Structure 1
Amino acid sequence: MTSSLDREDHIAKLRIHRPSVPDAEVYEVLAALDASGLVSEVEPLVAQSTGRNRTLTVRALFLGMWLAAARNSGTVTLTAVANLLFFGLSDKVREQLGISRYADHYRGFEAGYHVVRRLFHRIKSAVDPSPVPKNHRLDRELVARLFSEADLDELAGKHSLMVRVANRITVMSLLDAHPLLEGRWNGSVALDATVIGTYAKGMSANSPVTASDPDAGWYVRTAKHKDPLVTDAPPQERVKKRLYGYDACLVVARDPSHDGAPLPDGSANLGVVPSLIVAFSLDKPSHRPAEVALEALQHDPRYPRRYLAGDRLYPDEKPDKSQPPIRALGYQPVYDYAKDQLGVQAQFAGAELIEGNWYRPSMPQSLKDATKDLVVNKIDKQTWINRIRQHTIYPFLPKQRADAEGHRRMMCPAEANRGQCSLKPYTLGRGIHLPLIDLAPAPPAHPSPAPSAPSPSRPRPAPSSGSPSSTAPRNGSASTSGSATPSRA
C-alpha cells in the first residue's frame, strides 16, 4: 500500500508542474463539446433519481479529459483530469461548472480524484458490451454460463453505443483539423487493423481459467500475414508475432492525390491532408473483421465518403457482410489481389470476370493475363500499363444507375457504342474509330443471363494512372463502380 508520505510527495510534484488553464480555452472546448453531441449522448446513461447529488457533471469530466489530452500529447489519465479540474481552473469557471472546491493537499486531491474516477467508471459500465467481470481470472465454465444467461440484444446495443461514444470523442480530437478536412479532404479513407496489447496475460486454450481480461484474444502474425505472396515459408518461421489483446480497425483519412509527405525543410504541408484517424472500432483479433470495419465506417455523417482502400484482409470477407454494406454507406472500395487471384476468375452469360471487372471473352489472352505476367516478371511495368489501357475496348458497361449497394445491369461494348460486333449487325459500319471486336474464342456461353450473377472473387488493383478500381459483392457481377449483371441487351 502506498504510504501517505509517498502520496504527499506525488501531489507536491503535481502542484509544482500544474498548468493554469485560461478561461478562453475552457469556453472554446465547452462550445465544441456542446456541438459534438457527446454530452447529450452520455448524460442519460448515468442519470440518477436517487442517492446523493453528483458533484461532477459529465460535461465537466469531458472538459477535463480534453484539457489533459492537450497537455500530455494525447495521453489521458484520471490523475491529470482531477489535477486540472479541481486545481487548474479559475474560481469563476469552477463556479459556473458546479465543480466542488477541495483543499490543495493529498487528502483533498484524493477526494477529487475519486469523484472523477467514480463518474468515469460509471460511464464505462454503461457502455460495456460484456457480461464478464474484469481484472479477475475466472473459471471458463462460469464465463460460459454468464454469456449464455446474458441478453444478447442488450449487449449488442451497448456495443453500438460504445463505438458511437468513442467515435464522438475521436471527432473531438480532430477539432483543430476540421478546417483542413472540410476544405481539402474528399472523403477517401483507408482501413487498417492494428493490434492493441492488454495488461492481462493471455492463457492457453487448455487453461481452466480465463485471462483477467477475458474479452480479449490472441493475435498471431505469420509470414503470410506480413507478405501474402509468401506461401512456402517453413512452418517454424511463419509465426512472427504473438500478442494477447484486441484488434482496432482504424479509419484513416487519406488524399488519393497526395501522399501527405512533409515539405523538403521537414515542415508540414498545410495544403495536404495528413493521415488522421477519423473513426475506429474494437474487437477480438480476427474475430469478425468485416463487421468491425462497418462499425468504424459509420462515423460522423458530416464527413464526405468516396474511395475506401484496404489490405487483403477485407476482400476475403463474405460479400454480404462487407461489399454491399460498404457501398450503401457511400464508399467505392479499392482492393488488391494475391498472385493466385489474378486473370480470369469466373464466367457468366459469356462475360469473364477478370480482377474485378466483367469483359468480353474475345479479349486477347495476353491482356487477360497482364497483371499475372507482371507478378511473375514476364513483362515490365510499362508493358503492363499499356495492356491495362487496352482493357478499355472490352469491358461490359453500365446499362443503368447503381442501386444503394452498387448493383446494376451491364451491357456489352458494342451495344454501348464502344465497338463493332458481327453478332449484332446493326453495330457494324459505325466508323473506323470503333474497333471491330474479334469473336474468338467463343460467343456467350449462355443464351440469356440469370437475374443475378455469380460473385467476383476479388477486385482489380488500381492502374498506375491513378484511376481507382473496386470490388463488387458476390450476389452480382463486378464493375468499376459496383456490382452488376451482364446483359446482352
Structure 2
Amino acid sequence: MRAERRYIDDADVEAAIEEVDDSELVPLLEEFVHLPRGRRRTLHLRSLLIGLYLCTQDTGGKIVLERVTDILYFRISPRLREVLDITEYADSDQGFEAAYAVVRRLFHAMKDAMNPSPLPPNGHLSRSEAHALTAAADIDDLAERERRLALFTEFVLDASVRPLHSLLTELAEVSLGVDATPVRTFSRGRRTSGPELATDPDAGWYVREGDHRDPDTVSDSMRPPSPPTKKGKPKASQDKKKTSLKKKYLFGYDAHLIVTRDAEHDAVLLDDGTPNPEVLPALVLGVALDKPGHRPAYNGLKVLNRLRERGYKPGYLAGDRAYNNSEPDEWQLPVRAMGFKPVYDYRADQLGKQAGTHGAILVEGRWYCPSMPEPLINATIDLHAERIDRETWVRLIAARRGYRIMPKENADTDGYQRMMCPAEAGKAQCPNKPRTLGSGIHLPLIDPEPSPAGPLKVCRQRTITVSPEAGAKQWQALDYGGPEWQRVYFRLRNSVEGYNGYAKNPLAEGIESAGSRRIRGIAAQTILLAFPLAHANRRKIKKWLDTLSLGGERPRRRTHHRRPKKEPRSWTPTGHLAPAA
C-alpha cells in the first residue's frame, strides 16, 4: 500500500521561514531576478529559498530539486502552504511534474541572473564556438553577474554563522585559512586539447600534483621545478618507463574556501573534558569556484574583500603555496593592504636568501642583518640536502632571532615601515655601531665583512625605510619555522584541511561528489555548493554547543576523541624530532 504523506513539522518550517527572512536574501534576489510577466506566479523566490533550506535539513546538506518540489508542494501543511502562497497541485504523477516544472523554472531564472559565464552548459561546444561566445560577451554584464553570485553565497553563509556572528565580529582579529579543494561536477571531462568542450564548459581537470592545473594547459616554463634529488641517490633513467599514478584526478572545480579559526588558542579540553566555550569552532565564511589551478589569488581576494566589508577584523592569513606563488600585485600586496598578516610555507627552490633592500636580506620571509652567518641563512636548504640534522636546524632557526631587522614603528597607510638593524635595536653588538659594543656577552657579536665601498646603508644609518614592494612575494609576518609560526600556520592550515574533510563526509554534505549537484555551469554549482556548506556550518555549531558544559550541567554529547598534540618545537620541514628518551 502507498505510504501516507508525512508532513514536515510546522515548527521546522517556521524556523526555516525565519531563517530565510533574517538572511535578507529575498530582497537581494528581487533586485536582479526579473521574472517574465504573465499569469500569476504559483511560487515565489522566498518560498523557493525556504524549500532549498528545508531540503538541506531533510537530506543532510544536499540539494535535489525533486526533493525541494516534494517538500514545498506535498510535505508542508496546508496551513503553511497558504501562508507561503504556494498553489496546490494534485498528489499524482501529473501534479508532481507540473509542480517540479515550476520549481525548476524559478531555480534556473535565479541561477541565470547570477551566471558569470558566457558559455551555455549541457552541450558539447566546439572550441571555435566557445571562443566566439567569449569574445562577444559583455564584460561588464558578466562582472555584475559575478558580483551577484558572490553576494548570494555571502548571504547564505552569513545566515549559517548568525548564532556566532556577534562573537566573531567582537574578536580583535579574525584569522583565516584559505585553501582550494576539488569538487566534482556532473559532467564527463573532455581532452583538454580536443575539439570540443565538456557539457560543463566552466569546469576543468584537477591535477594531483603541482599547482593542480591540467598539464596539457601549462607550458614548461610555468611548471614548478622538480625537487632536487637527495645526495647519494642517482636519478632514475630517462629511458625507463614511469609507472606512477595518473595525474588527472577529477573533472570539476576548485572550491576556494575561507575558514576562520582562533589562531591564538588550541582547542584544548577543559579539566572536565569539555571544549573551551571561548574557542569557537572552525567555520567557512566564504567560497568561490573556478577551474582547478586558475586564478587562486583572484578568487581568494574576491572573498577576502567581502569579508572585510562585512566587518571582520583582519588577523593572520595562511594559505597553501598556490596563493603565495602568485604575483605580488595579485595577492601578497593586496592582502597586506587589507591588514592581514600572511603566514607562508615555501617550495624547496624558494628557501634561503630571497631578496634584499638597503643592504638588509630577506631570508625565508623575514628581514635580517646582511652579516648573518651563512649556516643560519642556508639552514633549511642544508636540512633538505641532509647536510645537517633536525636538531641542528631547530637551533639554527632559533639563532636567527639575534640578527633580525627590527621595526622602529608600525607601517604607515601605504605599507612603508621604518626599521633598524639588530644592533641599533639592542639585540646584538656590531663594530659598525661602536656604541653597541660591550653590551653583554648574552648578545651576539656581528662580524661584518669589510668592503671597499664602506658599510651598507642598513649598517650606516640608524634606520631604513622598507617599502611594501621589497621582498613582497615571500615576506611574511612570523619567523619561518619558529614556535609561533608553527602554532599559527598549522592551526590555520589544519583547520581548513579539516573542514574540507568534514564537509566532504559522504554520510553528510559530501561536497566532493557531484551526485547531488546535477545542474551544470559555474553558477548552478556555486549555488548548490553554498547551501551544503551552510549546512555544514550549522552542523558544526550545533555539535559544538552540544559538547559544552553550560550552567554546571553535563554536555549533551561528548567531544570527539583528540589525539595528543606534538609540541610546536618538534616540527621540522623534513619531519618531527624524535621524542626524548
Distance 1:112 1:253 in 2: 40
Deviates more, 1:170-179 or 1:312-321: 170-179
Q: 1:360, 1:395 within 8 Å by CA — same for their partners in 2?
A: yes
Which position in structure 1 is the counterpart of 2:182?
Answer: 195
Change beyond 3 A, Cα 1:363–1:299: same
One of 306, 310, 316 as aligned partner of 2:315: 306
Distance 1:202 1:282 in 2: 17
| 1:365 counterpart letter in structure 2 | E
User: Shift in Å at residue 320 of structure 1?
Assistant: 0.7
Which position in structure 1 is the counterpart of 2:123?
Answer: 136
User: Shift in Å at residue 150 of structure 1?
Assistant: 0.8
Which position in structure 2 is the counterpart of 1:461?
Answer: 480
Structure 2, gaps ≥5 residues long:
214-223, 230-235, 491-581
How many residue pairs get matched?
Answer: 457
Distance 1:28 1:377 in 2: 60
Which position in structure 1 is the counterpart of 2:354?
Answer: 345
Distance 2:347 2:271 in 1: 35
Q: 1:185, 1:254 within 8 Å by CA — same for their partners in 2?
A: no
How is 1:73-472 mapped onto 2 (pairs within 5 angstroms)?
73-175=60-162, 187-222=174-209, 230=227, 237=244, 239-257=246-264, 272-300=279-307, 301-403=310-412, 406-428=415-437, 435-440=444-449, 444-445=455-456, 452=467, 454-455=470-471, 457-459=473-475, 461-465=480-484, 466=486, 468=488
Distance 2:26 2:165 in 1: 20
User: Shift in Å at residue 355 of structure 1?
Assistant: 0.5
Deviates more, 1:41-50 or 1:345-354: 41-50
One of 51, 61, 70 as aligned partner of 2:48: 61
Change beyond 3 A, Cα 1:38–1:228: farther
Deviates more, 1:265-274 or 1:433-442: 265-274
Which position in structure 1 is the counterpart of 2:9?
Answer: 21
Q: 2:423, 2:430 within 8 Å by CA — same for their partners in 1?
A: yes
Distance 1:268 1:113 in 2: 45
Change beyond 3 A, Cα 1:321–1:265: same
Q: 1:462, 1:468 within 8 Å by CA — same for their partners in 2?
A: no
Identity of aligned residues (%): 42
| 2:474 counterpart letter in structure 1 | R
Distance 1:469 1:262 in 2: 21
User: Shift in Å at residue 181 of structure 1?
Assistant: 5.5
| 2:483 counterpart letter in structure 1 | S
| 1:165 counterpart letter in structure 2 | F
Distance 1:469 1:349 in 2: 29
Q: 2:123, 2:199 within 8 Å by CA — same for their partners in 1?
A: yes
User: Shift in Å at residue 268 of structure 1?
Assistant: 7.7
SS class of match (2:178): strand
Distance 1:274 1:253 in 2: 8
SS class of match (2:321): coil
User: Shift in Å at residue 424 of structure 1?
Assistant: 3.2
Distance 2:181 2:269 in 1: 24
User: Shift in Å at residue 462 of structure 1?
Assistant: 3.9
SS class of match (1:142): helix
| 2:339 counterpart letter in structure 1 | G
User: Shift in Å at residue 193 of structure 1?
Assistant: 1.1
TM-score calculated relative to the size of structure 2:
0.69
Structure 1, gaps ≥5 residues long:
1-8, 471-489
Q: Which has the higher contact order (CA 8 A, sep 6+)?
A: 2
TM-score calculated relative to the size of structure 1:
0.81
Deviates more, 1:418-427 or 1:133-142: 418-427
SS class of match (2:107): helix
